[in-house]
Amino acid sequence: MKKIKQSGILILLLIFSIALLGSNKSDDNTINSNGIVLHTNIPIVAQTLSLDMPLSMDNTSFTGISGDTFLVEAAEDEELYGYKAMEYSNSKYNSKLPYRLFVPENYRKGEKYPLVIFLHGGGKKGSDNVSQIRNMAGPLAFVNPAVQNKYPSFVLAPQCAKSENWRGTSYSGERLVKSLEDIKPSSVYLMLMELLESLQDDYGIDSDRIYLTGQSMGGAGTWFICLSNPDKFAAIAPICGWSLPSEASAIVDVPVWAFHGAEDKTIPPEGSISMIEALEKAGSTEVKYTEYPNVGHESWEIAYREDTDNNGIVDLIEWMFSLKRK
């Protein structure tokens, strides 16, 4: 009887010890630094803190530079189509910006490569950091082996929060913005532009070969972001988007290839046509417009796949990489 009681006590002690270890491990998984909570079950490769020395703990590394800006890299098994799962955050904002980054296979520090930024549509909003690339024609087209062999490049695919868009809201309170001055920038837009600067500092990105493209909400975002940063991009390719024709002269020197479906009821073709006409009126000589007959809203399915000369590379991509910032 004594032996049974002793065994029971030992089992209870063992269970208690395991539970205690588990709770301690959970507590260790959260670090509060500069007012920002981090979770160490996500391997962090590049994170800037107000520290001069690197710290390490388990599979997490911290590299100190300055400020409250964080670049977080997810585990390798979270790669999809070669895109690394990462996250950008800054203590100035209440939200974070999940993003995917494709790094050219033979990239070496010091070498310069183009960067393509892809903006998804409204249906892929969220925070899972997967929806914006999974089975998406655009992100898949740019990392196609044939494309990367001929045009090795970085590809950035951020994910917009559900409550925001790539542009912002109207100061005037109207549903649609009336001018660039009427736009109250979204935190997603502000973080994306900060992220772009960070990536240019951290990687060998050719500042004369940064390209912007997107579909639907991302098509509109492509127009608006370029209008707000007219000297940033070598070329843009907005698909089924819309913007402000009255502001088009700001990007008169930026090569543009716009796409739309003739039967698009979600964003009618006039969204693209009005911008193209305004650019031509302003004197642009590097604008192209493709309208697909009998095609509705999902014109991106053709634009990001169309290869008229059957050389294995999409027409849009060949056009894009032939251009440099002026």
Average pLDDT on 146-162 reads 97
Residue 89 has pLDDT above 80, yes or no: yes
* 325 and 206 Cβ atoms separated by less than 8 Å: no
Residue 173 is predicted with a pLDDT of: 82
Confidence category of residue 174, pLDDT binned at 50, 70, 90: confident
Give the DSSP letter of residue 80. Answer: B
Q: What is the CATH number of domain 74-321?
A: 3.40.50.1820
Lowest-pLDDT choice from 6-15, 195-204, 232-241: 6-15
Using DSSP bridges, classify how beta strands 154-158 and 113-119 pair: parallel, antiparallel or unpaired: parallel
- % of the chain surpassing 90 pLDDT: 70
Could you give the CA distance from residue 238 to residue 304 in angstroms, rounded to a whole number?
Answer: 11
Mean pLDDT of the chain: 81
Q: Characterise 129 by phi-psi region: left (phi > 0), alpha (psi -120 to 50), beta (else).
A: left
Average pLDDT on 317-325 reads 98
Residue 172 has pLDDT above 70, yes or no: yes
CA distances from 147 to 15, 264, 306, 315 (A): 56, 29, 13, 11
Q: Per-residue pLDDT tens for 289-301?
A: 999 999 999 999 9
Q: What is the DSSP string of 139-165?
A: HHHHT-HHHHHHS--EEEEE---TT--
Residue 318 has pLDDT above 90, yes or no: yes
Residue 305 has pLDDT above 50, yes or no: yes
Residue 64 is predicted with a pLDDT of: 27
Residue 86 has pLDDT above 50, yes or no: yes
Angle between helices 270-282 and 217-228 (to 10 degrees): 20
Q: Where are the domains of the chain?
A: 74-321
Give the DSSP letter of residue 246. Answer: G
Could you give the CA distance from residue 9 to residue 6 in angstroms, rounded to a whole number?
Answer: 5
Lowest-pLDDT choice from 58-62, 84-88, 111-115, 232-236: 58-62
Residue indicated by tokens 């082996």 = 145
Q: Per-residue pLDDT tens for 253-276?
A: 999 999 999 999 999 999 999 999
Residue 99 is predicted with a pLDDT of: 98
Residue 71 is predicted with a pLDDT of: 54
Residue 7 has pLDDT above 70, yes or no: no
